[in-house]
Structure 1
Amino acid sequence: MFSTVAVNGEVKRWEDVRLHDFAQGFFFGAGFFTTFRIDGGTPLFLSRHLARLSASVAAYSSTVRAPPPEVIREEAVRDTLRRCLDADTALGPRFTGVGKLAASDGKLLLTLRPPSPDAERLQREGRAVDSTEPGAYRHGESTPNHKGLSYFRQYTLMASMPLLANERGHVCELPTANLFALLDGQLVTPPLDAPCLPGIIRQVLLEAGHLDGLPVVEQALPLTRLAEARACVFTNSAVLVTGVTRLLGRALPDSLSVAERMRAHVLRMAAQEP
């Protein structure tokens, strides 16, 4: 992570951020965050990220103290980001990487980090998903619909990246990504009550409704049906779309081409955002 950060729009050094200003977030995980991609100084889908973050804070207004409304507005966050990039020569106005906004204790913290070191390799080679965590979630559980600061469950599984499933044996998500499987001529992703995070890239693809003639739909996805998948990808805001080249021991070479088409669509949509 870079040293330049911002708290409620004030540009600071990371070493000057005070722990007691974020006590509820640190000690209790009482807060939410969102990570967004920055390409050449431009944040992708920022308005969508802020809308989701604000909705999560509002859903738990009795336990999470919201930042002042003026600092979480899109124009304010864009200005804060610009000032952070201008203030640090290690960043610069054409910075490409990942931004993170964390809301807790009445404050909005902006931090920045370089691109994922394996992002290009993942796009080129894809990744295997070869394990599952049955019963990791319960159907209808609402907390996975929010990206809470209490992220230890996902963090511990990042390296192995298993499929997280519910007690019904249905796919929910990956630790840091949503999943899409090509089944019956459709790109299928689990519904929010599976449960899973309403990922921003997931939302963009569902709103499109199709990809080159393939319907993009939200429906229950039993683990057993993955044996029929012709391709599989996972999506998140940092790397966009990654092909799953091996799923639970079965090779899926078509996943890379599907991921490439989905990535191109997402980037086109990002360019059209206001």
Structure 2
Amino acid sequence: MLTWVDGRPAASLPLADRGLAYGDGLFETMAVQGGCPVLLERHLARVTAGCARLRIDLDAGRLRDELSAFCAELGQGVAKLIVTRGDGQRGYAPSAGAPRHILQAGAMPAYPPQHAEDGVRLFPCETRLAEQPLLAGLKHLNRLEQVLARAEWQGAEYAEGLMLDMSGRVVEGVFSNLFLVRDGMLSTPELSRCGVAGVMRAELLEQAQALGIVCQVADVQMDELLAADEVFLCNSLYGVWPVRQLQARHWSVGPLTRKLQALARHLLDR
């Protein structure tokens, strides 16, 4: 597997890396087409803003150069970028050393085409997302909530899980963002308390607004989700998956879902 650490091929990390010890860092997962990362500017903007919030001294220009060279060598597939605070001594006090860039290559996931065409079933996860405004929206390395949630179901009956916060508000999927459509308005949950602000989520909101679709980012309760006309999921690798069932509620794949799915597919295929 193609792996770089700080711009060079590598197969190991120092044991003192704070990403390993404390989850002290961030990551991005990018589709790569024709040697170029899809939605590159959105990924770079998110990791840059996340590093600023975590007070990691990121050299954005160096990171861009490394990422471009890595993806050119990869050609096609998935690039995972991890930025950690770098090496540190024992203890929580942040180190003053240089951050570390880790790049890993992989193949595009072989998701069943039925997920996109017919829609998916959502598993109602019992694991709740803790409300932590300081970390909300960031794709940080602390993903134990998602690990526990994903362990709640096995097999192919469910393609994704639905995650709520500690107050019972709808937040997102385990590895996706969620949208709903009601009376022609597109809504997605507010992520100021917890959750990951996905780059495909941001892109779809911008594209929808440009098309004149009324959009709303707000708290979503379970009864609002169940009353929606359309529900779909999105992320930066598969684009858009319609949701066809959650518990006893069934949905048909709606026209707005199909329209935004086509936009996402265009981004990922070009």
In which range does the TM-score fall when normalised by the shorter chain?
A: 0.7 to 0.9
Superposition pairs of residues 39-188 of structure 1, within 5 angstroms? 39-61=33-55, 64=56, 66-73=57-64, 75-82=65-72, 84-85=73-74, 93=75, 95=76, 97-104=77-84, 105=86, 106-118=99-111, 120-133=113-126, 135-138=128-131, 141-158=133-150, 160=153, 161-188=160-187
Q: How many percent of aligned residue pairs carry the same amino acid?
A: 24
CA contact (8 A) 1:157 1:175 kept: yes
User: What's the TM-score, normalizing by structure 2?
Assistant: 0.82
Change in Cα spacing, 1:149 to 1:135, as seen in structure 2 (3 Å) is closer
Matches of 2:227 and 2:60, distance apart in 1: 47
Give the secondary structure class of the aligned counterpart of 2:41.
helix
By how many angstroms is 1:268 displaced? 4.5
Task: Provide Cα deviations, 1:135-180, integer angstroms capped at 9, x if missing partner.
Answer: 5333x63323111112121123236443222233221111111100
Mean CA deviation greater in 208-217 or 120-129: 208-217
Partner of 1:90: none
Give the secondary structure class of the aligned counterpart of 2:113.
helix
Partner of 2:238: 239
Matches of 1:171 and 1:30, distance apart in 2: 27
By how many angstroms is 1:240 displaced? 1.2
- For these two proteins, the number of residue pairs brought into alignment is 250
In structure 1, runs of 5+ residues without a counterpart are 86-92
CA contact (8 A) 2:6 2:100 kept: yes
In structure 2, runs of 5+ residues without a counterpart are 87-98, 154-159
Q: CA RMSD in A?
A: 2.5
Give the secondary structure class of the aligned counterpart of 2:232.
strand
Matches of 1:204 and 1:191, distance apart in 2: 16
By how many angstroms is 1:258 displaced? 4.1
User: What's the TM-score, normalizing by structure 1?
Assistant: 0.81
CA contact (8 A) 1:209 1:217 kept: no
Partner of 2:20: 26
By how many angstroms is 1:223 displaced? 0.9
CA contact (8 A) 1:37 1:237 kept: yes
Q: Which amino acid aligns with 1:98?
A: V
Matches of 1:149 and 1:252, distance apart in 2: 34
Structure (1 or 2) with the greater helix fraction: 1
Mean CA deviation greater in 171-180 or 128-137: 128-137
Give the secondary structure class of the aligned counterpart of 1:137.
coil
